Structure 1
């Protein structure tokens, strides 16, 4: 039996601002943005090539904005990812080269923290 992580909730204070950040600055795909009723707005966003999405919205979680755990995405080209984020106006760290990977860090407008990691010598990264 497979167990697949496919959705992570990210608490934000302003759904439209967060959606704009993740889609237009970071490059996630906007998969779904609906109001099914009951004060709920469900927005699903997916990093390119990922099987796991994030969800932002209204009426979905009691977690305060900016309190998502540190999230990490593995990329195949850390320099291209860094250049894309920086070119789109994201406040992004310099590339940090470690033995276990090369990292770039940034946060969304609410302070939810992200790391991009390139893993050297990983097949099909």
Structure 2
């Protein structure tokens, strides 16, 4: 039935600020940006050009008008093969990061985007 995760929608206050955060601080690439009516754009970013899964940076105000119950923020867990390097790079880029958690099942840390939404980055080897 399902063989891939296509898109994860992140509801944001300001699409341009969100795009700046994901592209310039997190090193993602802009995959799609196109008008979506008079007040919003459809913006997708991803870790690389080759990655299938993307984040859709959707205007929170637009979704609040369309379907208010949908605006709850999703839990998103990202993966890396070098947690130490990712942690240092995010700090250098001004991303708000929490302390590194070293657990028997893996090493990880939380970080926040431009709107204060929480994400988790976990090392997968």
TM-score, normalised to structure 1, is 0.82
Summarize deviations over 1:39-63 as a string: whole Å, max 9, x none.
Answer: 4410000023643110013476334
Farther-moved stretch of structure 1 (31-40 vs 94-103): 31-40
Length, aligned pairs only: 118
> Would the aligned equivalents of 1:44 and 1:53 in 2 still touch at CA under 8 Å?
yes
Aligned to 1:10: 10
SS in 1 for 2:73: coil
Unaligned runs of 5+ in 1: 120-124
Whose helix fraction is larger, Structure 1's or Structure 2's? 2
> What aligned pairs does 1:6-45 form with structure 2 within 5 A after superposition?
6-37=6-37, 39-45=39-45
RMSD: 2.0
> What aligned pairs does 1:29-108 form with structure 2 within 5 A after superposition?
29-37=29-37, 39-48=39-48, 50-58=51-59, 61-62=63-64, 63-64=70-71, 67-108=72-113
The 2-side partners of 1:113 and 1:50 are apart by: 22
- Which runs of 4 or more aligned residues in structure 1 lie more than 4 Å from their structure 2 counterparts after TM superposition? none
TM-score, normalised to structure 2, is 0.82
> Would the aligned equivalents of 1:45 and 1:54 in 2 still touch at CA under 8 Å?
yes
The 1-side partners of 2:12 and 2:75 are apart by: 14
> Would the aligned equivalents of 1:69 and 1:112 in 2 still touch at CA under 8 Å?
no
